[in-house]
């Protein structure tokens, strides 16, 4: 698939089949992603990929954190309150997902259990955590975002679906404990990935995009 076609066909996937990506395929894709550009070629991304029993152990620990009732303690500030058109799109994307899942807007419990699936990695066989030195701030975050999208397109080209997850930055402690990350390093976000389950209701959720003229201005 070429890039334009991949972009047209891609969407976030939140339901996976129980089939790991072969190790040589993973190695090749992550090697190709290393070609991602970054400011001054600093390559600030440090990526931890969990699979198998370690992935399950991490999920259990994250769910425990979530259910402890303790507030999230992200390494980076994520708590933007969306306004205006951004807020409308935020609501529309949630409505697309909950609509596909058949969850009513008022059904708090069903919404909470749908949310919980973030930390169960939506049943994916793999999850990547994107981390960087905390001092980098916005410059590093730009580079990590570009890296993550490069990675996700490379995965898509190989028939592997993914979902980027800001939610995975909320409880960094278990990730830190299982990786030996230094205190100077922070978890920015994560991404579950694997082969899509075409029968999973969540994967029927589709989002739309603004008109080109609302987003891009060609000035001549």
Ligand X SMILES: Cc1cc2nc3c(=O)[nH]c(=O)nc-3n(C[C@H](O)[C@H](O)[C@H](O)COP(=O)(O)O)c2cc1C
- The residue from 162, 165, 179, 203 that contacts ligand X (CB under 6 A) is 165
CA distances from 174 to 46, 162, 169, 170 (A): 16, 22, 11, 11
Pair of tokens at residue 183: 């205190």
Helix (H) or strand (E) holding 115: helix 108-116
The residue behind tokens 């507030």 is: 71
Q: Which is nearer to ligand X, 166 or 201 (CB)?
A: 166
Q: Mask of contacts with ligand X, 20-39, x by CB under 6 A?
A: --------------------
Given a contact cutoff of 8 angstroms between Cβ atoms, the answer to whether 175 and 48 are in contact is yes
What is the rounded CA–CA span in Å between residue 93 and residue 89?
A: 6
Task: Answer yes or no whether residue 118 interacts with ligand X by CB under 6 A.
Answer: yes
Q: Which is nearer to ligand X, 48 or 189 (CB)?
A: 189
Q: Mask of contacts with ligand X, 187-206, x by CB under 6 A?
A: --x-----------------
Instruction: Give the shortest CB-207-to-ligand X separation in angstroms.
Output: 4
Binding-site ranges for ligand X (CB under 6 A): 11-12, 14, 93, 118, 163-167, 189, 207
């Amino acid at each position: 698939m070429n890039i334009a076609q991949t972009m047209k066909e891609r969407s976030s996937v939140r339901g996976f089949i129980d089939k790991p990506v072969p190790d040589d395929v993973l190695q090749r894709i992550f090697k190709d992603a290393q070609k991602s550009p970054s400011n001054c070629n600093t390559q600030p991304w440090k990526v931890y990929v969990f699979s198998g029993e370690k992935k399950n152990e991490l999920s259990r620990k994250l769910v425990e954190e979530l259910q402890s009732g303790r507030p999230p303690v992200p390494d980076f500030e994520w708590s933007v309150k969306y306004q205006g058109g951004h807020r409308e799109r935020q609501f529309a994307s949630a409505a697309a997902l909950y609509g596909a899942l058949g969850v009513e807007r008022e059904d708090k419990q069903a919404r909470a259990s749908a949310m919980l699936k973030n930390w169960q990695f939506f049943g994916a066989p793999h999850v990547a955590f994107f981390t960087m030195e905390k001092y980098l701030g916005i410059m590093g975050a730009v580079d990590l975002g570009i890296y993550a999208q490069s990675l996700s397109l490379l995965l898509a080209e190989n028939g592997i679906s993914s979902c980027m997850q800001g939610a995975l930055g909320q409880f960094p402690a278990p990730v830190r404990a299982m990786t030996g990350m230094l205190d100077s390093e922070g978890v920015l976000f994560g991404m579950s990935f694997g082969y899509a389950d075409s029968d999973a209701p969540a994967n029927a959720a589709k989002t739309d995009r603004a008109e080109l003229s609302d987003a891009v201005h060609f000035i001549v």
